[in-house]
Amino acid sequence: MGGKGSTRWGNVKIDNSPITLKLNAVDGYKEIDNILTRVKDAKIVMKSIMNFMRSKVIDHFRNEEGSTGKWQSLSPVTIALRRKGKGTGGPKILQDTGDLLNSIQGGTGGVSEYTSKYAKVGTTIFYAKFHEQPDNSGPTNSKKGILPKRDFMFLKTSDIEEMKKIISIYFLNGK
Report if residue 96 sits inside a domain: yes
Report if residue 109 sits inside a domain: yes
Distance CA 12, CA 23 (A): 10
**% of the chain with per-residue pLDDT over 90:** 22
Domain count for the chain:
1
74, 130 in Cβ contact below 8 A?
no
141, 147 in Cβ contact below 8 A?
yes
Report if residue 30 sits inside a domain: yes
In the prediction, which pLDDT does 16 show?
41
| pLDDT-based confidence at residue 1 (cuts at 50, 70, 90) | very low
**Tens of pLDDT, residues 73-116:** 988 888 887 766 555 667 889 888 889 999 999 888 888 999 88
Number of H helices, E strands in the chain: 6, 7
Please enumerate in sequence order all residues whose Cβ is within 8 A of that of 30, keeping only pairs 6 or more positions apart, or say none: none
Report if residue 1 sits inside a domain: no
What value does the mean pLDDT of the chain take? 75
Range of the domain at 56: 6-172
What ranges make up the beta strands (E) of 5-151?
6-7, 19-23, 65-66, 69-70, 110-114, 119-123
In the prediction, which pLDDT does 96 show?
84
**% of the chain with per-residue pLDDT over 70:** 65
**Tens of pLDDT, residues 3-14:** 344 443 444 333
